[in-house]
Structure 1
Amino acid sequence: MSEIRSLALACRDAAQTMFALDSEAKRSLLHDMAAALEANSDAILAANARDLQQASAKGVQGAMLDRLRLDQARVASIASAVREIAALPDPVGLVTRRETRPNGLEVERVRIPLGVIAMIYEARPNVTADAAALCLMAGNAVILRGGSEALHSNVAIATVLRDVLARHDIPAAALTLIEDLRRETMIELLQLTDIVDLAIPRGGEGLIRFVAEHARVPVIKHYKGVCHLYVDASADEALALNLLVDGKTSRPGVCNALETLLIHRDIAESFLPNAARALEERGVELRGCERSRALVPGMRTASDEDYAAEFLDLILAVRVIDDLGAAIGHIQRFGSDHTEVIVTRDNAAAQRFVQAIRSAVVMVNASSRFSDGGELGLGAEIGISTTRLHAYGPMGAEALTVERFVVRGSGQVRHPQH
């Protein structure tokens, strides 16, 4: 038996223990995990320093290095996210629907854990804790396979969390971290259809495609975020500028950062030059259409590749469009079903935008940076699903459960014997 199959089998056995835990036991577990992360922050930061040093030596910089970096504040934020997950309603056992059939059968739909979840991700060590906490709160066991850039950080965090599992008499295999990062090992994991119930890849486009192409287990994709902000003709320009600056510059290396600005032609002449100045002062490079470049001399020409790009950097594609319909058409062509924003004072325009756009998150007069599980009340997220399956958008603990039917009768038979 291969090592990866052996680890996965142990994780599946541990899932039975997690399934049996009640809400208070899971909350106690997560609170102790949060405290342990804080108590061991020095060891976690020392491991992270090794990862940062190795990444810098390999030439990693910019957004990727920022995703990798931890400090005391970020460790505290990770612990806080674990506590927020512990405070959420327990989805396991939730009765979502109950009815009595004409024959007297009582039919319930009840949430239960999925089982074993494989989480495959890249350079964010916080995902190790977030994914573990969400899976465990939903009664699942989890197999974590992080990227090589964050190996030392991931091992340090997972070690802390597994120690807490042991103190609670829960098999440490309920949180299994794969340290063998060869691609063939990941492929084997993705083909364990008799053990793994769901795979969730979270990272760059290359990782997502690799997982989708090689998996035999079900996959929910956290695909790239080509997020748009559309400034409608009736928009409050000051409000639009604030949303634009926040969405593009507050943290450009994340999936809910803005990548494209669309501007109605009737407001472009007054809005775009001011927006360009504000963005350029913050180091943003603009790439635009001919109408945009006419209003902002010196702007680079945008290509179709730019409009389809997830830059994850201080680069923004810009297009002046004729009307709301053109904005919707652009998003439908170039979007990635992640997050879209409209800025408008016209309720009818806002409603048309919401109805026409099928993306996982649609914002009206709010920053794209709120497209986040923590900000939307999930405590934390295991990813933002851009796959229209049982979960779509930010995925919290409830998205890691599934409904089953529980039927209560009093001896009913479908075909009575005469």
Structure 2
Amino acid sequence: MSAPTSERPQTVPDAAVRDRVLEACRRAREAARAVRPLTRAAKDAVLLAAADALDAAAPQVAAANRDDLADGERAGLAQGLLDRLRLDEPRVAATAAALRDLAALPDPVGEVVRGQRLANGLEVRQTRVPMGVVAMVYEARPNVTVDAAGLALKSGNAVVLRGGSAAAHTNRALVGVLREVLTAHGLPADAVTLLDGPREEVRHLMTARGLVDLLIPRGGADLIRTVVEGSTVPVVETGVGNCHVVVDAAADLAKAVAIAVNAKAHRPSVCNAAETLLVHRAVAADFLPLVVPALDAAGVTLHGDAEVVAAAAAAGVRAESASDDDWGREYLSLDLAVRVVDDLDAALAHVRRWSTGHTEAIVSEDVGAVRRFVAEVDAAAVMVNASTRFTDGGELGLGAEIGISTQKPARPRSDGAGR
């Protein structure tokens, strides 16, 4: 594999870091000129070749990832972060499959969004075109490296990637594979560029106005806030996920149990995992004895109000008393806040107060309740009788995913902190 960057230096003067970042962006901008005019067939051929190359390199990528995992365990990373970091051979295969799904999608470049002929005979067309250079700043999610690169190439753009240090070995291996594929297809390797130096790189990437056309942060609230507030480059904000599942009075309770368990326990370390379960009082007496043991069997620790704690005790399950910290928390672990609410009004009020605008779900057979929930909830995705885990590019049939955008100013919380 060709090395995309040099090893991470120990100490580098800030001016040297700035110059290296800007030079990388200039090279990416030059590479974007070669990617921009590619036909759909040419772009899809690169994506399919990259998928095949990732499959072939899966043992090497997984070995690099084991090095990152070992470093993370020594550094005391939480289990949720380690799960985000993990890219074993099955996950490499899934990442390659996402590239194939992406290649199967229509080419967004050249699509006419709308148009009209004016009274004077002038024809006006709004057409999708590449942006140029897209930069991505993200944390310990090495699959994002491939997803972002694939989406950039499909849309005719070059990409500059700045992954977290926790995934350094894995990101180098992945980008090495992608750059070799680009070279083999007669394209500049710098169409996929990895920055792998000190943290100051992020600051210089945020201010590379004129070289970077769009910057996307993906990670924790602190990272997103730093990039959104400090960038002079246009930013697409991807929000953290304090996601709710609301079990309505008219819910199919068996369906609600399955959705609650899947939304929380399928992969708790990701942003579309549910963090709070809200139960309508009208069904609480019947639903809690069903869902509490099911969640407990899945290894979930419950943080509940007084009614939930009592119902858990009756089922022989221990639940911790919830506080405001629990309602506003993105656990990213096998923890779930559970609350009984008086009615749909109370459920909507809770969601409005604590939601981060990512994904909200309702389980109900009442068409009126569903329509009201969909109309009133302010989130990037709203699910009806489905798990929050469906908020994903692949699950929604959109191929690889660059992030879930909430694209709103930080919403105040009770503690005064933004989301």
> Scaled by the length of structure 2, what TM-score is found?
0.91
- The 5 A counterparts of 1:15-94 are 15-94=32-111
Q: Could you say which residue in structure 1 is the equivalent of 2:287? A: 271
Establish whether residue 381 from structure 1 lines up as the match of residue 401 from structure 2: yes
Q: Could you say which residue in structure 1 is the equivalent of 2:309? A: 293
Q: Could you say which residue in structure 1 is the equivalent of 2:359? A: 339
Q: Deviations over 1:107-137 (max 9, x none)?
A: 1110001111111111111111111000110
When the two structures are aligned, how many residues end up with a matched partner? 388
- Letter aligned with residue 378 of structure 1: L
Does the aligned pair in 1 maintain the 2:195–2:201 contact within 8 Å?
A: no
Distance 1:121 1:41 in 2: 22
2:178 to 161, 165, 169: 161
1:358 to 372, 378, 394: 378
Distance 1:290 1:42 in 2: 50
Instruction: Could you tell me which runs of 5 or more consecutive residues in structure 1 were left unpaired when the two chains were aligned.
Output: 390-418
- Letter aligned with residue 159 of structure 1: G
Distance 1:51 1:304 in 2: 35
Establish whether residue 2 from structure 1 lines up as the match of residue 33 from structure 2: no
Distance 2:42 2:144 in 1: 23
Alpha-carbon deviation of 1:21?
0.6
Alpha-carbon deviation of 1:293?
2.5
Q: Could you say which residue in structure 2 is the equivalent of 1:207? A: 223
Q: Which moved more, 1:142-151 or 1:1-10?
A: 1-10
Distance 2:200 2:92 in 1: 32
Q: CA RMSD in A?
A: 1.2
Q: Could you say which residue in structure 2 is the equivalent of 1:253? A: 269
Distance 2:131 2:350 in 1: 37
Alpha-carbon deviation of 1:290?
2.3
Q: Which moved more, 1:289-298 or 1:148-157?
A: 289-298
Establish whether residue 304 from structure 1 lines up as the match of residue 324 from structure 2: yes
Q: Deviations over 1:240-294 (max 9, x none)?
A: 0000011111111111111000011010011012211111122211111223233
Q: Could you say which residue in structure 2 is the equivalent of 1:198? A: 214
Q: Deviations over 1:48-75 (max 9, x none)?
A: 1211111111122411111111222111
Q: Percent identity?
A: 50
Does the aligned pair in 1 maintain the 2:35–2:158 contact within 8 Å?
A: yes
Distance 2:253 2:189 in 1: 54
Distance 1:83 1:235 in 2: 37
1:221 to 234, 237, 245: 237
Distance 2:46 2:250 in 1: 51
Equivalent residue of 2:128, what SS?
A: strand
Equivalent residue of 1:385, what SS?
A: coil
Q: Could you say which residue in structure 2 is the equivalent of 1:175? A: 192
Q: Deviations over 1:26-84 (max 9, x none)?
A: 01111111111111122212211211111111122411111111222111111111111
Q: Which moved more, 1:243-252 or 1:276-285?
A: 276-285
Distance 1:120 1:21 in 2: 26
Equivalent residue of 1:353, what SS?
A: helix
Q: Could you say which residue in structure 2 is the equivalent of 1:411? A: none
- Letter aligned with residue 245 of structure 1: V
1:317 to 337, 349, 362: 337
Q: Deviations over 1:158-200 (max 9, x none)?
A: 01100111111111111110011x2222101110111111111
Alpha-carbon deviation of 1:222?
1.4
Distance 2:303 2:130 in 1: 46
1:239 to 245, 252, 255: 255
- Letter aligned with residue 359 of structure 2: T
Distance 1:50 1:172 in 2: 25
Does the aligned pair in 1 maintain the 2:327–2:354 contact within 8 Å?
A: yes
Equivalent residue of 2:141, what SS?
A: coil
Establish whether residue 131 from structure 1 lines up as the match of residue 148 from structure 2: yes
1:372 to 374, 382, 392: 392
Q: Deviations over 1:344-364 (max 9, x none)?
A: 110010000000001000011
Distance 1:388 1:87 in 2: 31
Distance 2:382 2:145 in 1: 28
